[in-house]
């Protein structure tokens, strides 16, 4: 099996993943202008069965038009068991997308089957780098199989929590308390194998920036790296919430510097900012600094693009 770069070595910035209906070419064309880190062109829930075939063509066209936009290009396919998923994959120009979002994953075997199919299609299309997978855990069975799913396939670089289907199945409310177990299980499974956890979209009031921010803050506390968003108004909120603050960056720099200074003196621990620092705190601090560097790079590219567009 081909192995993609480790998320730790080459992480993607996924603070916001903007979901856009694959049967709406007008929205797909505009998607790159909203500042989301990733654009998810949807062939699943937002597209009715009768429109699936046309949506595949429209998504393929959009992928060509979006080349060079500087954003991760992702497509959410239908499940293989639905009868639409295999046709989705066969129709996609795989070389033009970065990742594939896989809905309602419940077993590791599903990802094994998808990986085998993708290997065949990539070989036929001459695609050298394996496309990444974002596995969506949306059902109680999927949540309870989070770790086997997370470690099933080296293509998988993120787990996504789908709160809508989860609460529909369990009868739970869409509240912090009700979602705590599912979010924690996904965060733990993602952390166990070194991949990202991406939180559910806040869909109860998509234009309410404060509600989106509050929900995103809860997810960030649990270790999530970003959030799927359904409305352009949610993009800036998610980007800001999942970006390290200047104070967090400065503190992380002091922790790392203090620990390295202690190592140079032959010690395995240090006290920095009043915090007892051992190797277990250095990893998170270094991850935060890598994320901050990615955010700076994204902001610089956006500024350059804006400058180029205005001249």
Inter-CA distances, 89 with 62, 106, 133, 140, Å:
15, 19, 13, 26
Give the domain-ending residue among 188, 209, 241.
241
Residues of the chain with pLDDT > 90, as a percent, come to 79
237-261 pLDDT per residue, tens? 999 999 999 999 999 998 898 888 8
Side-chain-facing half-sphere of 67: CA atoms under 13 Å: 9
For residues 233 and 284, membership in a common domain is answered with no
Domain containing 72 — which CATH number? 3.20.20.60
Q: Is the pLDDT of residue 101 over 70?
A: yes
For residues 117 and 33, membership in a common domain is answered with yes
Give the domain-ending residue among 214, 241, 268.
241
Per-residue confidence (pLDDT) for residue 274, from 0 to 100: 80
For residues 159 and 262, membership in a common domain is answered with no
For residues 285 and 301, membership in a common domain is answered with yes
For residues 125 and 235, membership in a common domain is answered with yes
Q: Is the pLDDT of residue 47 over 50?
A: yes
Q: Is the pLDDT of residue 3 over 60?
A: no
Q: Supply 286's token pair.
A: 């270094």
Residue 92 CB: number of other CB atoms within 10 A?
22
**Distance (Å, whole) CA 235 – CA 34:** 7
Q: Supply 281's token pair.
A: 């705190």
Residue 5 belongs to some domain of the structure:
no
Per-residue confidence (pLDDT) for residue 308, from 0 to 100: 55
Nearest to 163 by CA among 129, 204, 131: 204
Residue 137 belongs to some domain of the structure:
yes
Nearest to 119 by CA among 2, 13, 23, 31: 2
148-157 pLDDT per residue, tens? 999 999 999 9
Between 266 and 135, name the one with better pLDDT: 135
Q: Is the pLDDT of residue 167 over 50?
A: yes
Between 206 and 182, name the one with better pLDDT: 182
For residues 39 and 123, membership in a common domain is answered with yes
**Distance (Å, whole) CA 284 – CA 296:** 18
- Average pLDDT of the residues in 83-90: 96
Burial label for 203, CB within 10 Å (0-12, 13-18, 19+), is middle
For residues 186 and 60, membership in a common domain is answered with yes
Give the domain-ending residue among 190, 222, 241.
241
For residues 63 and 155, membership in a common domain is answered with yes
108-117 pLDDT per residue, tens? 999 999 999 9
Q: Supply 95's token pair.
A: 């070389």
**Distance (Å, whole) CA 44 – CA 293:** 34
For residues 237 and 292, membership in a common domain is answered with no
224: enclosing H helix or E strand: none
204 φ, ψ to 5°? -70, -30
- Average pLDDT of the residues in 85-98: 97
Per-residue confidence (pLDDT) for residue 307, from 0 to 100: 60
Q: pLDDT band at 122, cuts 50/70/90?
A: very high
Show Cβ contacts of residue 66 under 8 Å, excluding neighbours closer than 6 positions. Answer: 28, 31, 32, 39, 73
Q: pLDDT band at 311, cuts 50/70/90?
A: low
Per the prediction, the chain carries an average pLDDT of 91
Burial label for 211, CB within 10 Å (0-12, 13-18, 19+), is middle
Per-residue confidence (pLDDT) for residue 266, from 0 to 100: 84
For residues 193 and 139, membership in a common domain is answered with yes
Residue 23 belongs to some domain of the structure:
yes
* Structural domains in the chain (count): 2
183-221 pLDDT per residue, tens? 999 999 999 999 999 999 998 888 899 999 999 999 999
For residues 158 and 295, membership in a common domain is answered with no
For residues 181 and 250, membership in a common domain is answered with no
Q: Which domain holds residue 147?
A: 16-241
**Distance (Å, whole) CA 158 – CA 162:** 13
């Amino acid at each position: 099996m081909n192995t993609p770069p480790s998320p730790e070595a080459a992480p993607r910035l996924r603070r916001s993943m903007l979901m856009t209906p694959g049967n709406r070419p007008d929205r797909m064309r505009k998607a790159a202008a909203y500042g989301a880190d990733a654009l998810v062109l949807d062939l699943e829930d937002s597209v009715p069965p009768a429109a699936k075939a046309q949506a595949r063509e429209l998504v393929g066209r959009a992928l060509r038009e979006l080349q060079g936009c500087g954003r991760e290009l992702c497509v959410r396919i239908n499940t293989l068991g639905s009868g639409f998923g295999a046709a989705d994959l066969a129709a996609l120009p795989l070389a033009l997308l970065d990742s594939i979002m896989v809905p309602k994953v419940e077993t590791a075997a599903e990802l094994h089957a998808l990986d085998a199919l993708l290997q065949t299609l990539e070989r036929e299309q001459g695609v050298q780098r394996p496309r990444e997978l974002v596995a969506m855990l949306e059902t109680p069975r999927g949540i309870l199989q989070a770790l086997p799913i997370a470690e099933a396939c080296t293509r998988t670089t993120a787990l996504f929590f789908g709160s809508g289907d989860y609460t529909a199945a369990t009868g739970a409310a869409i509240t912090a308390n009700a979602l705590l177990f599912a979010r924690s299980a996904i965060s733990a499974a993602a952390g166990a194998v070194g991949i990202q956890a991406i939180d559910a979209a806040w869909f109860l009031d998509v234009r309410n920036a404060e509600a989106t921010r509050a929900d995103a803050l809860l997810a960030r506390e649990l270790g999530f790296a970003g959030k799927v968003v359904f409305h352009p108004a949610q993009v800036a909120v998610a980007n800001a919430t999942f970006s390290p603050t200047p104070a967090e960056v400065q503190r992380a720099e002091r922790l790392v510097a203090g620990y390295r200074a202690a190592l140079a003196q032959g010690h395995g621990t240090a006290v920095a900012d009043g915090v007892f620092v051992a190797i277990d705190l250095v990893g998170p601090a270094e991850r935060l600094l890598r994320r901050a560097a990615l955010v700076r790079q994204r902001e610089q590219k956006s500024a350059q693009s804006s400058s180029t567009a205005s001249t």
